Structure 1
Amino acid sequence: MGSHRRLAQSGFDRGASSALGVLSAAAAALGAVSAVPATAAPHDDTRAEVDRLYEEAEQATEAYNSADERADTLREQVGTAQDRIARQQERVNGLRERLGSLAGAQYRSGGLAPSMALLFSRDPEDYLAKASVLDRITAHQAGELKELQGALRELAQERAEAAGKLAELEKSRTAVGRHKRTVEQKLAKARRLLEALPPGDRAAYDRASRSGRDGMPAPGSGPVSGRAGAAVAAVRSALGKPYVWGANGPGGFDCSGLVQWSYAQAGIALPRTSQAQAHAGRRVPLSEARPGDIVTYRSDASHVGMYVGNGQVIHAPYPGAPVRYDPVGMMPVSSVTRP
């Protein structure tokens, strides 16, 4: 019954600090597991414990993905700001050189005061004309320089702010990575607990994780062509690939990474996280789902898969389970989105 948990969609804007809060709660919840030996709880409790661990782990994965995506965005913003600053600096340098040339010419001419230069000029009218032009040019260039310097200061401030945000986010991502490793350790323990169950109980757990909900309407296949068809072909090609933390293919996937990668093969760029993917198109009722539609699960859209027809989705379930088919009603559906 594993599900990919992610931050709320607004968490994409809140960034890594929200992710850390989610992961801290996850780590606190998981910490109690280490004190419970495999034989200390009934089999039902063990299965429930494993299921909770999977949900927390997937939530951590989506939180990490959100922080990672925001870091990429900030890097682009910083790079753009730096490019703009470099261009502005080049213009300022050129203007300074031109102004310096004018100053040098005045110095070489003796640096006479305007009244004295007029007195000794052989052609006072020509001097006055040139002086007037020179004044206009100098004033224009000085104004332009002032404007560019102001813009440069603003851009430098933007760059500093962006760099500060990026540095803060990098620290947050490091912390997220630490939480991720902690959750992975707990997942390994949860896996051992599951494997320690009798074969019949392990089989029952797997059946429970793949069962549909009673009364869930079964949408039909519907037409599939164009980019949706290409995305469905891509997601089918990923069947059997392993669930991998924070991966979006082609060798392994987490839940949102699988959906993002599949649509990328069809030429459509989707957001990285499941909650963002839930808003990456037009919402449709589950009863009208068509192959290629994005199906998100649970009230927080913490897990996602792709509907492929005949009442089934293909998704990356949880660590230890490969990309596979499951009933579309395997858990409460949050939304169906058609990119």
Structure 2
Amino acid sequence: MASHRKSRPTGPRVAGIRTPALATAALTSVALLSQTATAAPSDDDRPSLEEVEKKVDDLYRQAGSATEKYNAAKEKTTKQRKRVDTLLDDVAKRTQRLNEAREELGSYASAQYRTGSAIPETATFLLADSPQDYVDRNHLLSRLTGRQKDAVDDYVTQQSETMHKRREATESLATLTESQSDLKTAKATVQRKLSTARELLSELTAEEKARLAAIERKKQEEAARKAAELAQRQAEERERQERAARQESDASAGSSQPSDGTGASSGSTTPDASYGSKAEKALAFARAQIGKPYVWGATGPGSYDCSGLTQAAWKAASVTLPRTTYDQVNAGTTVPVSQAQPGDLVFFYDDLSHVGLYIGNGMMIHAPKPGAYVREESIFYDGESSIHSVVRPA
């Protein structure tokens, strides 16, 4: 990378020729630019493999956050475009009806003028663009028939409504333009982050790439260990609850108090049957997507980003989730990680830039990042502290 090049010392000689003092600075700048493009990086200036790994991970996370902003802007733009199209269609229809009403009023005015029952000013009044003209000249209505008065009232009403809709359409167009600008900015941010990450990885030597792969394997092993610990804690908690439920049931059976007929103890955390059924459908869908590539902004069926996958999975269970992680985190009940059930949504990082679908035993299905594929992985894949919250969406 250019920022890691080390330039050679420069002096008052270039190609063995002593140069005038005033020319030295310019020639030195040319030499520096040339060396930046051709010099080999110095080992002292090269970042360590750990620094590269951290930088790449940070860039992927930043790209993930930018992707969710892109998703939000895209959704807003799509909705706003539909609204604008609807408004413009409505304005066009109203304008057509307004023109027809204008023609009808014009025929009335012409007829009155020909018969002498009205002065030429009446025609000007009937064809006026401003509804205020109608109010200011209200005394002229005395010359009109009941049918003609209805036509005037209808025209004025349609004119006012059409003007209102035109203003509304203009405001919506301005909002659409703003949304499109936000979408363009978010897209450029994602592309810039990913491009920088790819450049960093491309400059690694074969040995460094092998070492980086070994570091990643160790992280996965540690994540798997933590997942197994969570699975054990959850199993122990379920066993404790079942034992407590049995004891309470035995105590109730031996007491004289009537049963409530529910067959369940108060405070039981037994999974809801309805939720379990929906979760199975969501998980079945998610498992069928394993191996498909992560593509930022994608919602399937050939590729997904993280929130696109969770949205599609729960849609298969007839549950509608919002498009972005920022909204999905509010689309259900928050539960402790220790009580996570299959089907729950696991959110990561303070900026909520990632989400996966919990499958039990400390594992999840998720669309990780660019260059990766939908896969099963420990929810501790990026460390325990990266988990933000767990949400039960149905």
Q: Same fold (TM over 0.5)?
A: yes
Aligned residue number for residue 214 of structure 2 = 203
Counterpart in the other structure of 2:250? none
* Residue matched to 1:159: 169
In the alignment, structure 1 residue 181 sits paired with structure 2 residue 191: yes
What is the CA-CA distance between 1:307 and the residue it aligns to?
Answer: 0.8
Tell me what 1:295 maps to. 346
Q: 1:206 & 1:194 partners in 2: Cα distance? A: 18
Pairwise CA distance, 1:334: 1.7
Mapping of residues 100-179 of structure 1, within 5 Å: 100-111=106-117, 134-179=144-189
Residue 203 of structure 1 aligns to which amino acid in structure 2?
Answer: A
- Which deviations, in whole Å up to 9, do the C-alpha atoms of 1:280-338 show, x marking residues without a partner? 22323323322221111122211101111222111111122211111223343222222
Identify the match of residue 46 of structure 1 among 42, 52, 74.
52
Report the equivalent of 2:318: 267
Summarize the alignment of residues 225-240 of structure 1 with structure 2, pairs less than 5 Å apart: 225-240=276-291
**Is residue 3 of structure 2 the alignment partner of residue 35 of structure 1?**
yes
Q: Is the 8 A contact 1:46 1:193 kept in 2?
A: no
Matching residue of 2:94: 88
Change (3 A) 1:85 1:34: farther
**In the superposition, relative to structure 1, how do residues 107 and 133 fare at CA in structure 2: closer, same or farther (>3 Å)?**
closer
Query: Equivalents in 1 of 2:355, 2:193: separation in Å?
Result: 20
Match of 1:123 in 2: none
Counterpart residue type for residue 180 of structure 2: E
Structure 2 residue 113 is matched with structure 1 residue 62: no
SS in 1 for 2:292: coil
Aligned to 1:250: 301
Cα 1:98–1:250 shift into 2, 3 Å = same
CA distance in 1, matches of 2:333, 2:157: 46
The alignment's TM-score, normalised by the length of structure 2, stands at 0.65
Match of 2:335 in 1: 284
How far is the alpha carbon of 1:214 from its aligned partner? Answer: 5.3
SS across alignment from 2:357: strand
Q: 1:85–1:155: 8 Å Cα contact kept in structure 2?
A: yes
Map 1:287-326 to 2 at 5 A. 287-326=338-377
**CA-to-aligned-CA distance 1:192-218 (integer Å, 9 cap, x gap):** 256742524412224426743859744
The number of residue pairs the alignment matches comes to 290
Greater relative contact order: 1 or 2 (C-alpha under 8 angstroms, separation 6 or more)?
1
Q: Which residue identity is paired with 1:253?
A: Y
Deviation at 1:229, TM superposition (A): 1.9
Closer/same/farther in 2, CA of residues 48 and 111 from structure 1, 3 Å limit:
same
Q: Which residue matches 2:387?
A: 333
Name the CA shift for 1:138/1:252 in 2 (closer, same or farther; >3 Å).
Answer: same
Cα deviation, 1:14-62, whole Å, max 9, x if unaligned, reads xxxxxxxxxxxxxxxxxxx763469612222222122112111212212
Q: Secondary structure at the match of 1:241?
A: coil
Distance 1:254 1:150 in 2: 47
1:94, CA displacement in angstroms?
A: 3.2
RMSD: 2.9
Report the Cα offset of residue 68 of structure 1: 0.9
Identical amino acids, percent of aligned pairs? 35
Is the partner of 2:370 in helix, strand or coil? Answer: coil
Q: 1:153 to 1:86 in 2, by over 3 A?
A: same
Structure 2 stretches lacking a partner, 5+ long: 5-40, 120-140, 239-270
Spell out, residue by residue over 1:79-114, the C-alpha distance to the aligned partner (whole angstroms, 9 max, x if none): 22223323322332332233233223323434467x
CA contact (8 A) 1:38 1:193 kept: no
SS at match of 2:169: helix
Aligned equivalents of 2:109 and 2:195: distance in 1?
A: 70
Amino acid across the alignment from 2:3? A
Q: Does structure 1 retain, via aligned residues, the 8 Å contact 2:333–2:391?
A: yes
Contact 1:235/1:314 (<8 A) preserved: yes
**What residue is the counterpart of 1:99 in the other structure?**
105
2:42 and 2:89 mapped to 1: Cα distance? 57
Aligned-partner Cα distance in 2 for 1:258–1:206: 25
AA in 2 matched with 1:100? G
Q: How far apart are the structure 1 equivalents of 2:346 and 2:74?
A: 23
Cα distance per residue 1:244-274 (max 9 Å; x no partner): 1211112111111111222233333322211
